[in-house]
Amino acid sequence: MPDLDHPRPTPRLVQVLTTEHHEGVSTEPGRRGHALLVIAVTVVAVSATTILLVELVVGSGSPGPPWVRAGSVSEVQRRQVVYVPVARAYVVDASSGNPIALYARSPHLGERIRYCASSGWFEEQAHGSMFDGLGRYVLGPAPRGLDRFDVRIIDDNVWVDTSNLVLGPPRGPADTHPSGPLCRSQ
């Protein structure tokens, strides 16, 4: 391993400094020197990337790699419903004060769920399943309410755990009504 405190002069410097020249002896770096340089640069690049990733995950307040930041608590409260594309989830400001994360796929056949701002409900347009603003089953062929992810609040940030999907609540009486027109008819 080279001594980093006292680096060896490059072969070109050696040629300039010495007055002797030996025939047949190359002063250019060989393939081994190039290979070592490539390895050293690769090690430095991988180390720097690892440090940056660790800083992004740990330094950002993240609970860990499967957790995705949904936004600040105030942003979720202001917007009421926030779609988080990386998690494929909606984060909803629940009336309890604790946000909930709803998987944006139908528990029926996995179709995409869309939030309808005019009704305040989640709708699955392919088969007509409907869920209220908290993801509870309202009508359609879905076997249960929307599946959920765990949520944590750390340093005023809402984090969604995408590694653990929790089954949605069972079907129950639909005692909620949309706050306006449904989007599926549009």
Model confidence over 51-77: pLDDT tens digits?
A: 555 444 444 566 667 888 888 888 888
Looking at the structure of the chain, the number of domains it has is 2
**pLDDT number for residue 174:** 67
The answer as to whether 184 is a domain residue is no
Please indicate, yes or no, if residue 29 is contained in any of the structural domains: yes
CATH for 120: 2.102.10.10
pLDDT band at residue 30, thresholds of 50, 70 and 90?
low
Mean pLDDT throughout 87-103?
Answer: 86
pLDDT of residue 34: 74
Which structural domain range is residue 39 located in?
11-58
User: Tokens 């070592």 label which residue?
Assistant: 36
Quick one: 122 and 80 in the same domain? yes
Is the domain of 38 the same as that of 100?
no
**Taking all residues of the chain, what is their mean pLDDT, rounded to a whole number?**
77
pLDDT class for 3, splitting at 50, 70, 90? low
The pLDDT of residue 114 is: 92
State the pLDDT at residue 2: 53
Flag whether 1 is in a domain.
no
Strand partners, 170: 144
Name the one residue in this structure whose structure tokens are 């009508």.
Answer: 139
Could you tell me if 51 and 84 lie in one domain? no
- Same domain flag for 86 and 129: yes
